[in-house]
Amino acid sequence: MTHFLRTTAVTAGLAIFSMLFGAGNLMYPIKVGLNSGDMLLTGIVGFLLTAVLIPVVGLIAIIHFNGNYHQFFARIGTIPGRLLIAFCMAVLGPFYVMSRNVTVCYTMLKPFLPDAITGIMFSVIFCTLTFLATYKESKIIDLLGHLISPLLLVSLTIIVIKGLLNPQALVAQSSHASDIFTHQAKLGYGHLDLLGTIFFGSIVLSILKSNMKHESNYDIKELSKTGLKAGLIGCFLLAIVYIGLALLGAYHGVGLESINIAELFSIISFKILGQSGALVTATAVAMACLSTITALAIVLAEYVQRDIMHHKINYFKSLSLIILLTFIVSCSGIEALLKYAEPLINTLYPLLMTLTLCNLAFTTLNFKWVKLPVFATLVFSLYINWASYSIYLELLK
């Protein structure tokens, strides 16, 4: 049993890393390095605070709820909890993160693809691969932990090491250290990994439970420990990769400040590895995007099947619907996705952070307040972000 738990923790940890490491995780860390210049340490600390530490807190919180995200959200009330779950699913699913993975993957891979492959053709191919990878949901841990994670880590390691062997001079930053820290911390929100650890943590715990049912000494505490170890392994790997990518942005991003954020990784990788390294770059991009979208597809398919359709459709039909919606939305392009999703995410993500902290305090310190802190956060967040909602009025016009 001990040997089983140990190996399962590592495999599940690699799977969590793959689930969380998607399109945005290639874009934002490089931008952090590019923005920080010679204040790189300050920028990285700010970024890791929101991109890694907060997701770890979310993972610990959902484990304390035994992976049941319905109970997790229900503490703010049945209806508000369901509405917040629905919002999270919409953001994680076809209406933002899944579609972003498709569009960013195309943007990053475009320099290495034949001219005949258009954005729509790429979306068809990528969505088809996603469907094939997620059709057998019970195999997702093995697929991510044994295949996709190693390919992703090896590819990124090659790019980072080669880049650090031939660094350029850091650009001197004129901004104050506090501004650098704050700006990079805001970039960390862009990953939305708090959502990932809450919902992916639920998947991992569910699969671990099913794998351990045949064990005679099945123990929920051991399961929670294994889930926590797996999450910490996954988040530690994230932090290491983020630091490596930030270093690449700092040492090789000079002159690329005006480049589209989705193109930075491909351009810098090509700059480091040259034409001969195109396969390595393409592998890293493809594995990063495929790993996250497969995990998200499972989360959304199960949610639609169970909570929206109440098992009136099977997993196959639910998954097909999610993939089709992802394809349709991805055809709008990365810039439109980022533009119209930003106000809503900036408003409700702090609310989710508050709920997570309150839930963790409830399970560890018996802190029972949750509705008032969450409501206060929502009011303040709406006040801060209200001006940005003008883009929706423009869209209606």
Domain boundaries, the chain: 2-334
* DSSP single-letter state for residue 262: G
Residues 39, 177: contact at Cβ < 8 Å?
yes
Please state the pTM of the whole predicted model: 0.81
Q: How many CA atoms within 13 Å lie on the side-chain side of 285?
A: 29
The predicted pLDDT at position 2 comes to 45
Is it the case that residue 264 has pLDDT exceeding 60?
yes
Is it the case that residue 292 has pLDDT exceeding 60?
yes
Is 215 or 329 the better-scoring residue by pLDDT? 329
Instruction: Please report, rounded to a whole number, the percentage of residues in the chain having pLDDT higher than 90.
Output: 21
For residue 377, what pLDDT band results from cuts at 50, 70 and 90? very high
Measure the CA–CA gap between 201 and 203, rounded to whole angstroms: 5
Return the CA Rg of the chain.
Answer: 21
The Cα-based distances of 98 to 91, 134, 135, 182, 345 in angstroms read 8, 13, 16, 27, 15
End-to-end CA distance of the chain: 62
Taking residues 360-366, what's their average pLDDT? 91
Phi, psi of 259 (to 5 degrees): -75, 145
The predicted pLDDT at position 5 comes to 44
Residue 151: name the closest of 257, 252, 21 by CA.
21
pLDDT tens per residue, range 54-86: 888 888 888 888 888 899 999 999 999 999 999
Measure the CA–CA gap between 42 and 38, rounded to whole angstroms: 9
Superfamily designation of domain 2-334: Amino acid/polyamine transporter I (1.20.1740.10)
Least confident of 187-196, 218-227, 301-310, 350-359: 218-227
Is it the case that residue 206 has pLDDT exceeding 80?
no
